[in-house]
Structure formats: structure tokens, C-alpha cells
Amino acid sequence: MRPSAVVVGGSSGIGYETCVRLVNRGWAVTNISRTACNNAKVVNICADVAHGTEAAEAIRSSAERHGLSALIYCAGYSMAAPIEHARESDYKYLFEVNFFGALRAMQAAIPHMKKKGGKIVLVGSLGGDVPILFDAFYSSSKAALEMLAREANAELNRYNIRVTAVLPGGTATNFSFKRKVYTEEENGAYSRSVNRAVAALANMEQSGMKPSRVAEDIYKTLMSDRPPIIKTCGAMNTAKRLATRMMPEKLTLYIDERMFHQ
């Protein structure tokens, strides 16, 4: 029986490239997202990860039909806004997509994986280690995913379930253009700084890694007998993450501010 995977958020970007790699290498793949993955070999289930148990029910349904060797959570949302002016409805929605959706997906997948083991990949971000100016809630949610991966490994090791947080740096996808950006009126005195940070971030993303490169790292993680708990994509991003952990916190924040033209 061929291995089976559920990809949450596989309609575009990293998720789409992951679906393509898996089906091309003989996997049975189900995509769960609001928009269908346009690869003919992928089974699509329409669900919104931010709306209660929709995605979790879809995962359970797919697992019962096709089995479940791997879960890859790629869904993500970003908003550029000052902490002072951020609306509760916006940052709650962000955490629903980026963190709580991942948690519910894991809770749906784990009972099926406990029978034969499995792999879970959570697509985090280097921004979970290094703050992204005026995208505090995105960075916070991705940091939470890293800790979730660490804790889940400790709990699920006995069932041969391995959990990895994969951390891309800037990646050239349409995600840059889907980011919710507050207006000048909403940003108030921060407006100029927010606009500069958003432009710098988009430039960093669009000049960064290809999503296919990140997808390849995800595939290698799924195929590893002993996958890492935290996997940074690319040698340069790995060096950046290591450097930020070795540098004094104030120096890291200074470089971060300069990076985003503050």
C-alpha cells in the first residue's frame, strides 16, 4: 500500500509544491484548503482551518479512507500592523490559521498515526526566532509552532510519531501579496515605518528561496528515519538562526531594526 499524506494549505506556494513532490513520487495526497490544488492527482477537500472543526473532520475522513502516513500543515496568514493598534479580531484570526488550526489538525491525525506511526511537519518560519517588525503576531504564532513541535515529540515518541517544525526564511510566493496591511489611518504615527517594513519584507521574500526548495526539505524530512525536531531550510538561513542565538539580544534587535529600515 502506497504512503498517504494530508497537506493542509496545498493550493499554492510551499503547500502546492509539497503536493506535487509527493504525488510525483507515488504518494496518495489529499489537500485540505479553501481553494483546490490544481494537480489532477491530488484529492481535494474544501475546508477552512479557521472555522472550528472543518479541517479536523476532513483529516479524519481522509485517514479513514486512505490511511495516514504524514500530515503537513502549510496554512498561514500574515498581518502588518503596530501592536498598539492591532484589532483583536485580526490577531485572533491569525492565530486560528497559524497555530490553533495546526493544533486541531494534529489532534485529528494522531489517533490514526498511533497504530503504525507517522510524520507530522509544521511549516514555521525563521520569523519565529527573529522578530519581523510590525508582524509581531505572525512571528509569535510561528514561535508557538516550534514549541508545539518540541513538546509533541516528547509526548508522541513512544508511538513512533515524529514531529518537525520546518523553518523557511524568505520564500518567493504570493504570500507576500496576500498579507493584510493596515492603512495609513489605522497605523497612525507608525505609518511610515510600517510601509518601509512591509516593502523590505516583501523584497526579502521575493528574492529568497523558491517554494520548491522548501518542499524538497519537507520531503526529505518525511523520508528520514530520524527527522530533526527543528529543520531550518538552506545553509544561509541555518547560519542566520545560529548567529541570532549566539549574539546578545540587543545586537540581534538592532540588526533586525536596520534590516527593516527603521
* Domains of the chain, CATH where assigned: 4-259 (3.40.50.720)
pLDDT in tens, 144-176: 999 999 999 999 999 999 999 999 988 989 988
Confidence band, pLDDT 50/70/90 cuts, at residue 129: confident
Please, are residues 15 and 31 in contact by the beta-carbon 8 Å criterion?
yes
* Percentage, residues of the chain above pLDDT 90: 74
Tell me, what's the pLDDT at 236?
79
Give the C-alpha distances (Å, rounded to integers) separating 197 from 33, 190, 241.
Answer: 29, 11, 20
Confidence band, pLDDT 50/70/90 cuts, at residue 66: confident
- Helices 211-223, 13-24: axis angle to 10 degrees equals 50
Please, are residues 28 and 66 in contact by the beta-carbon 8 Å criterion?
yes
Kindly tell me if the per-residue pLDDT of 35 is higher than 90: yes
pLDDT in tens, 206-259: 988 999 999 999 999 999 999 999 999 987 777 777 777 776 666 666 666 666
Q: pTM of the full predicted structure?
A: 0.92
Distance, CA of 16 to CA of 251 (rounded, Å):
37
Q: Quick one: CA dihedral 71, 73, 74, 75, positive or negative? A: positive
Average pLDDT, the chain: 91
**Contacts of residue 185, Cβ cutoff 8 Å, sequence gap at least 6:** none
- Helices 136-156, 101-113: axis angle to 10 degrees equals 20
C-alpha cell read off for 31: 489537500
Confidence band, pLDDT 50/70/90 cuts, at residue 51: confident
